[in-house]
Amino acid sequence: MAKRVYLFSEGTKDDSDLLGGKGANLCEMTGLGLPVPFGFIITTRTCREYFQAGNKLPTLLEQEYRVALDLVEGKMGARFGDPENPLLFSVRSGAPVSMPGMMNTILNLGLNDEITEGLAQKTGNPRFAWDSYRRFIQMFANVVLDVEGGLFEKELEQFKKTRGKVHDVDMQADDWRELVQRYKRLVDLPEDPFLQLKLAVEAVFRSWHTPRAIVYREMNNIDESLGTAVNVQAMVFGNFGDSSGSGVAFTRNPATGDRQFFGEYLPNAAGEDVVAGIRTPLPLSALEQQLPAVYQQLFDTQALLETHYRDMQDIEFTVQDGVFYMLQTRSGKRTGRASIKIAVDMVREGMITEPQALMRVSPEHVEAFLHPMIDPSAKRDIVASGLPASPGGATGQIVFSAEEAEQEHTAGHSVILVRRETTPEDIHGMKVAAGVLTELGGMTSHAAVVARGMGVCAITGCGSLTIDCDAGHVSTDDGVVLKRGDTITLDGTSGEVMLGDIGKIEASSSDDFQILLGWADKHRRLRVRANAETPEDAAKARELGAEGIGLCRTEHMFFDAERIVIMRAMILAENDEERCTYLSQLQQFQHDDMLELFKIMDGLPVTIRLLDPPLHEFLPQSSDDINALSERIGKPARQIHEIVENLSEINPMLGFRGCRLAVVFPEINEMQVKAIISAASDAIALGYRPLPEIMIPLVVNVREIRLITRIIDKCIHETARARAVSIPYKIGTMMETPRATLGADRLAPEVEFMSFGTNDLTQMTYGFSRDDAGKFIPKYLKEKLIDLDPFVSLDQRAVGRLMKIAISESKSKKQGIKYGICGEHGGDPRSIQFCHDIGLDYVSCSPFRIPIARIAAAQANVDGNQTY
């Protein structure tokens, strides 16, 4: 039979799986010789046993903890249940993973009328004794007997009123004693301390299943089956009088990371009073003045703990009658800014290594550093929530079109662009918007991909909204109606839409961050490239550390107002000659853009994907837009209507797109290749070192690659011959259809690189349309039909398996192929870890995710023994 009960002298900090985080740290502090009130821990395994037995404590458990309890009594010099010399306990939960405040606690356990009298005599402080008892009744009734706390609050308020007392401090011993009798009439309280203890242990186990604990575990992906330990610890009292008190402190500033001991102290108060915030605590300097020896002990203890744990600690302490006690230590929660500063400082101070520092910084920390974030302490009036498509916080007034966005922006207003979905025509509005909110679309929809690329906050798939752009209002399921011009705030990190202007914490940058990124580069194997096509995005990407471009979606280069007209004219061309005229105009734009990219990415690879999206995405949809185009290019509106109709598809993401376009319209690819190669040769002439990698999208078989490679080779040789230059280039393929991955051995001989387009690969593996998935993914997540959105975090089981097959089978045919990923997963830390593990050479992600990817790639590579 496994041991179920451990004394604080029997464990260490490494036992948190068995003893819970709190218990393991109490053991560690006991081992360090710190003044920890003694106690014992009932293991998490016992909690699981309790649940398995249908909420029944193991028969022998009581015997086991009674042995431990005897030893605690010996150590504390007092006895549980003895009115002459009473020992009281706190009974607290403690899970293997920190779940602050989510489960239950009972303090002052072991009191009844007789023992309270005894406590009053022993301490000479009856007021304290009866106050302790009434606190115990309240907590016990609430946690064990499920009685609403409000019932007691009401009784207390009434009592105070009848006695003419205003504050708790006005209550005398007799007042508390009488209140206790009233409380006892409200509930059936067990008098026997041992029964109290048994019921409390059970209640703490049960509190693993309180709704708030379940929600917290869901939100933080904590395993439901872990269970909680129970910490039974001798009570010490901070509310014993003026030379008593309680406090919490951090060994460094948790907001800024500054090396500055920092905390709060509340004289004559129990620990729960500090947490509940009933009075305003004082700075620690107050303790230093009042009880200098105690302060010195606290100061020395925090220094010792930080050195021992090699991390910033969050500690709780109590002073009872001038004697100092430690009640808790744990790694302190901190802001993104603080986490980076502390990690870097601790390496400088010789406390941790560079790899350990890297493991201390979570992706959320980096995100909070790069984008303005909603202040976590601000009140939120949430009216809807959708998918957290692009992180950060943004406030602005509602606009319903890209044009309005531009106008209001020019007039100096911050705007939130609200659309049912976005299309390439909305780009100019998205560019100036503080945030984008759409009713439809998933995490890889147009709005999500484009906003992320621009670093603009976005929420997509907000299905509870009904947006009427023409009428200029949007309504929520709960009947809230928002109009044009109303102010809203988006939290692109959580997906929440809120009314009004909610406070934010601004993004920042620091030398420490650059130092940390430098270490990440030193300790990673995976290369990090950017998904970027505009010069601005490419420059931003390079500034953030991109080692090339892993995906240039050439179609994005034609969204500009002037260019889209030519693009449309090209698509609407009635014969090859007409098409070629427009193509040659497009070629010039394409050339100019490419030249810019080659200059910015001098000496680094630039992967250019040939045109991919279905052509109808470029065409106007509304009659007004069609009429305007008709006027611009001199084609009858009726004819344009007809072509738009012909090209429209029910499910465009599986239709006439990708290399299928090149098969039917090879001249489009020819134009693109000519533009790329002439730009590369111009770049060489200007002294740059372009490294173009031409990528073929949506391939399903090797014949497509051969056909398009012939087109590419022919164009390249013609251009290169005409210009008498030799251009280093590579040809590769996207791997984004299941058939391509399963036939990778056949594709291998024809390509030099393979880039996994996991947006499409996920879509096709699941059969979830990426543009429509936003409608049902939230429900899938809620119902636990899936654990994570597969468009956010790579599905390792099936999509990942296809990737692994593709790599191993292509390698068996040809060595030296470079493998990358350019789907949105390339910026997701969990997916990056997987990409590292399966041996990819690089990940490619939107510019603003590059720092996160650099750190995640390093974390994947360094020894994973550390935790955040």
Indicate which residues carry an active-site annotation: 446, 822
CA distance 272 to 248: 11
Query: Taking CB under 6 A as the rule, does residue 556 contact ligand PEP?
Result: no
Query: Taking CB under 6 A as the rule, does residue 790 contact ligand PEP?
Result: no
Tell me which residue of 261, 373, 370, 368 sits closest to 317, measured CA to CA: 261
CA distance 558 to 572: 15
Number of residues in contact with ligand PEP, rule: CB under 6 A? 11
Among 91, 103, 430, 551, binds ligand PEP (CB under 6 A): 551
Query: Per-residue DSSP letters for 157-206?
Result: HHHHHHHT--SGGG--HHHHHHHHHHHHHHS-----HHHHHHHHHHHHHH
3-state SS assignment for residue 769: coil
Taking the least distance from each CB to ligand PEP, the nearer of 641 and 804 is 804
Taking the least distance from each CB to Mg ion, the nearer of 40 and 756 is 756
List the x/- string, 709-728, binding to ligand PEP by CB under 6 A. Answer: --------------------
In the complex, what is the shortest distance from the CB of residue 822 to Mg ion, in angstroms, rounded to a whole number? 8
CA 824 to chain centre: 15
In the complex, what is the shortest distance from the CB of residue 565 to Mg ion, in angstroms, rounded to a whole number? 26
The contacts of residue 30 (CB under 8 Å, 6+ apart) are 8, 9, 36, 38
Q: Tell me the residue length of the chain.
A: 868
Taking the least distance from each CB to Mg ion, the nearer of 254 and 757 is 757
Query: Residue 117 burial by CB count (10 A; 0-12/13-18/19+): exposed, middle or buried?
Result: middle
The answer to whether the beta carbons of residues 822 and 550 sit under 8 Å apart is yes
CA distance 131 to 866: 44
Inter-CA distances, 412 with 44, 372, 408, Å? 58, 19, 6
In the complex, what is the shortest distance from the CB of residue 765 to ligand PEP, in angstroms, rounded to a whole number? 12
3-state secondary structure labels for all residues of 626-654: HHHHHHHHCCCHHHHHHHHHHHCCCCHHH
Looking from the CA of 776 toward its CB, the CA atoms found within 13 Å total: 9
- Give me the helix-helix angle, 363-370 and 850-861, nearest 10°: 160
Taking the least distance from each CB to ligand PEP, the nearer of 685 and 742 is 742
In the complex, what is the shortest distance from the CB of residue 736 to ligand PEP, in angstroms, rounded to a whole number? 5
Query: Per-residue DSSP letters for 257-285?
Result: --S--EEEEEET--HHHHHHTSSPPEEHH
In the complex, what is the shortest distance from the CB of residue 448 to ligand PEP, in angstroms, rounded to a whole number? 10
Query: Per-residue DSSP letters for 61-120?
Result: HHHHHHHHHHHHHHHHT-EET-TTSEE-EEEEEE-SS--TTSS-EEEEES--HHHHHHHH
Residue 527 has φ and ψ, to the nearest 5°, of -85, 155
Query: Taking CB under 6 A as the rule, does residue 452 contact ligand PEP?
Result: no
Taking the least distance from each CB to ligand PEP, the nearer of 287 and 799 is 799
In the complex, what is the shortest distance from the CB of residue 763 to ligand PEP, in angstroms, rounded to a whole number? 8
In the complex, what is the shortest distance from the CB of residue 662 to Mg ion, in angstroms, rounded to a whole number? 15
Query: Taking CB under 6 A as the rule, does residue 441 contact ligand PEP?
Result: no
**Listed ranges 184-192, 317-325, 431-439, 752-760: which one lies at the site for ligand PEP (CB under 6 A):** 752-760
- Residue 244 binds which of Mg ion, ligand PEP, none (CB < 5-8 A, kind-dependent): none
Query: Taking CB under 6 A as the rule, does residue 822 contact ligand PEP?
Result: yes
In the complex, what is the shortest distance from the CB of residue 254 to Mg ion, in angstroms, rounded to a whole number? 42
Q: Which of residues 590-619 bind ligand PEP (CB under 6 A)?
A: 612
The answer to whether the beta carbons of residues 641 and 758 sit under 8 Å apart is no
3-state SS assignment for residue 539: helix
Query: Taking CB under 6 A as the rule, does residue 736 contact ligand PEP?
Result: yes
Taking the least distance from each CB to ligand PEP, the nearer of 332 and 614 is 614
- Residue 758 binds which of Mg ion, ligand PEP, none (CB < 5-8 A, kind-dependent): ligand PEP
In the complex, what is the shortest distance from the CB of residue 470 to Mg ion, in angstroms, rounded to a whole number? 32
DSSP one-letter code for 767:
T
In the complex, what is the shortest distance from the CB of residue 30 to Mg ion, in angstroms, rounded to a whole number? 57
Query: Taking CB under 6 A as the rule, does residue 553 contact ligand PEP?
Result: yes
In the complex, what is the shortest distance from the CB of residue 761 to Mg ion, in angstroms, rounded to a whole number? 8
CA distance 522 to 702: 38
What does the radius of gyration of the chain's CA atoms come to, in whole angstroms? 33
Beta bridge partners of 282: 265
The answer to whether the beta carbons of residues 437 and 497 sit under 8 Å apart is yes
The contacts of residue 835 (CB under 8 Å, 6+ apart) are 526, 794, 821, 825, 826, 843, 860
Q: Which of residues 757-786 bind ligand PEP (CB under 6 A)?
A: 757-760
CA distance 532 to 538: 5
CA distance 558 to 671: 13
**Listed ranges 196-204, 205-213, 575-583, 754-762: which one lies at the site for ligand PEP (CB under 6 A):** 754-762
- Residue 553 binds which of Mg ion, ligand PEP, none (CB < 5-8 A, kind-dependent): ligand PEP
Taking the least distance from each CB to ligand PEP, the nearer of 338 and 803 is 803
CA distance 131 to 153: 14
3-state SS assignment for residue 131: helix
Taking the least distance from each CB to Mg ion, the nearer of 294 and 735 is 735
In the complex, what is the shortest distance from the CB of residue 444 to ligand PEP, in angstroms, rounded to a whole number? 6
DSSP one-letter code for 865:
T
CA distance 151 to 655: 64
In the complex, what is the shortest distance from the CB of residue 61 to Mg ion, in angstroms, rounded to a whole number? 58
Q: Which of residues 562-581 bind ligand PEP (CB under 6 A)?
A: none
Taking the least distance from each CB to ligand PEP, the nearer of 275 and 654 is 654
Q: Which residues bind Mg ion (CB under 5 A)?
A: 736, 757, 760
Taking the least distance from each CB to Mg ion, the nearer of 512 and 760 is 760
CA distance 104 to 97: 15
3-state SS assignment for residue 5: strand
Q: Give the binding site for ligand PEP (CB under 6 A).
A: 444, 551, 553, 612, 736, 757-760, 822-823
